Amino acid sequence: MRVTIRDFQKMTDEGTPITVLTAYDVTSARLAEAAGVDSILVGDSLGMVIQGYDNPVPVTLDHVIYHAQIVTRVTEKPLVIGDMPFMTYSISPEQALMNCARMMQEGGVGAVKMEGGEILAPTIERIVSAGIPVMGHIGLLPQSVHKLGGLRRMQGKDEVSARQLLQDAVAVENAGAFAMVVEGVPAELGRLITQRVHIPTIGIAAGPDCDGQVQVFHDLLGLFEAFMPKHAKRYVEGAALFKAALTQYAEDVRARRFPTIEHAVHMSPDVLSALFAEDDED
Shortest Å distance, C-beta 254 to ligand KIV: 39
Q: Which of 183, 188, 237, 251 is catalytic?
A: 183
What does DSSP assign to residue 21? Answer: E
Shortest Å distance, C-beta 217 to ligand KIV: 9
- Bridge partner list, 81: 41, 111
CB closer to ligand KIV, 41 vs 127: 41
Shortest Å distance, C-beta 112 to ligand KIV: 12
* H or E segment to which residue 218 belongs: helix 217-220
CB closer to ligand KIV, 151 vs 170: 151
Binding site for ligand KIV (CB under 6 A): 22, 41, 43-45, 83, 181, 183, 204, 214, 216
Active site residue 188: no
Cα(151)–Cα(232) distance, integer angstroms: 14
244, 252 Cβ separation under 8 angstroms: no
Shortest Å distance, C-beta 124 to ligand KIV: 16
Q: Which residue is nearest to ligand KIV (CB)?
A: 43
Write the single-letter amino acid at 194. T
CB closer to ligand KIV, 41 vs 120: 41
What does DSSP assign to residue 66? Answer: H
What does the DSSP assignment read for 49-111? HTS--SSSTT--HHHHHHHHHHHHHH-SSSEEEEEPPTTSSSS-HHHHHHHHHHHHHHH--SE
CB closer to ligand KIV, 83 vs 168: 83
Active site residues: 183
